[in-house]
Amino acid sequence: VEIGESVRGEDVYIIQSGCGEINDNLMELLIMINACKIASSSRVTAVIPCFPYARQDKKDKSRAPISAKLVANMLSVAGADHIITMDLHASQIQGFFDIPVDNLYAEPAVLQWIKENIAEWRNCIIVSPDAGGAKRVTSIADRLNVEFALIHKERKKANEVDRMVLVGDVKDRVAILVDDMADTCGTICHAADKLVSAGATKVYAILTHGIFSGPAISRINNAAFEAVVVTNTIPQEEKMKHCPKIQFIDISMILAEAIRRTHNGESVSYLFSHVPL
């Protein structure tokens, strides 16, 4: 990596999402941060829409790594002064850093999408496909003034779901599944079937990070979704060609406004509850 023009004394923002060839992208980001740092830039901010290895934020079994902490350390050592990211898998990841982290939320954009695209949103029910997303779902349900439901799932091993129990009444309602990321989509497709069998009239899924690896696309095509809505923290153009159900919410404005506010020393907290115009 070589920086093509002078960055001396500048406020530098490097945008790199954790997707695709994730390790190559992470390495490139670290090298770019370091290149800017030793080229005397005044401050380097890494804008990471989808934080790499965010799911490995604790030891879920013995001898497992805590990769999210490792990535945090690597970013700090490379010389990042500030991190802007979106919908971290666990908010506590902010505590892995000793530098400021702005964890932006896709929630305002999601609320806007629901109101604009789901005609009967007043009679919908917001559903979390696992207990971990309960907080996210209750927050959205409160702001739409609708009810919410939970699906409790038991996993025997990672990436595979065994048994699901629905808590809440979805009969004759539009169900909206909300989660922060979907990888192989096993969970949300299982959840969609569960909701349909419990009497939901339509099922939508709204996810912040659509990783869609392995069998995800074929699973979505075969599942009972009206639409699977993701943000473009990860580019989705290729996936949308193969799956007409995938739609995206553009969050570039949220990141742009966060960068503008950070650069001008303004408060970023406005973005936690509003979509910038």
Domain spans of the chain, in order of start: 11-104, 106-249
pLDDT 10s digits, 202-241? 899 999 998 988 888 999 888 888 899 999 999 888 888 8
Q: What is the mean pLDDT of the chain?
A: 90
pLDDT 10s digits, 71-110? 999 999 999 999 999 999 888 999 999 999 999 999 999 9
* 11-104 matches 106-249 in fold: yes
pLDDT at site 161: 61
pLDDT 10s digits, 37-82? 999 999 999 999 999 999 999 998 899 999 999 999 999 999 999 9
Q: How far out from the chain centre does Cα 215 lie?
A: 20
Average pLDDT over residues 240-265: 92
Report the range of poorest mean pLDDT among 56-70, 154-168, 187-201, 262-276: 154-168
Q: Check if CATH label 3.40.1480.10 holds for domain 11-104.
A: no
Average pLDDT over residues 147-168: 79
Strand order in the sheet with 160-167: 160-167, 147-157, 124-128, 174-182, 202-210, 227-231, 246-249
What CATH fold (topology level) applies to the domain 106-249?
A: Rossmann fold (3.40.50)
Q: Is the pLDDT of residue 159 over 80?
A: no
pLDDT at site 27: 95
